[in-house]
Amino acid sequence: MNFRGYLNHLFERPPEEIRAATAVRNFAKWFFALLRNFVLVGLLKYFYDKTGSEFLFVIHQVALFVIFLYCLSYFDQWYVNLFCFLENKALAHRLNLAVNIVITMLLFFLVNRATSIVVIELSRAHAV
């Protein structure tokens, strides 16, 4: 028996498990970065609410817009194509564009609401 060959094959990782582990790590990295960003935006709003500082309000609004763009950058990779069955491609494009704009607006309200929830929870945690 070749001992060096044995050692080379002692610890093997199947390629499928490497891909799955990489996908899990990438998702976790993305999720925690997003969570950290939400907490940061929430803290800015919390400090603005407590101090009434116009400067913090402006920074919060800019941060809220940037986190919206960040979320939109992931969403923008997808185009909802509900009307692909229509013969008139120009009409289908306009209808799809309208649907995508509505989805984008809903996404903005979702981000805004999530930030408000973070602020409420931070306030509750700070009060304890």
Question: For the CA atoms of the chain, what is the radius of gyration?
Answer: 23
Q: How confident is the model at residue 59 (pLDDT cuts 50, 70, 90)?
A: very high
Task: Output the pTM of the full model.
Answer: 0.60
Beta-strand ranges (E) seen in the chain are: none
Closest of 128, 123, 108, 124 to residue 45, by C-alpha: 123
Six-digit token pair at 123? 């306030």
The residue type found at 91 is L
**Could you give the dihedral angle defined by the CA atoms of residues 24, 122, 41 and 29, in that order, rounded to the nearest 10 degrees?**
-10
Look at residue 53 and give its three-state secondary structure: coil
- Summary mean pLDDT of the chain: 82
pLDDT at 128 over 80: no
Six-digit token pair at 106? 């809903």
Look at residue 13 and give its three-state secondary structure: coil
Instruction: Report the alpha-carbon distance of residue 65 to residue 59 in Å, rounded.
Output: 10
pLDDT at 66 over 90: no
Predicted local confidence at residue 4, as pLDDT: 80
N- to C-terminal Cα separation, the chain: 66
pLDDT single digits (tens) 3-57 = 787 777 777 767 777 788 888 899 999 889 888 888 888 888 888 888 999 999 9
Predicted local confidence at residue 75, as pLDDT: 63
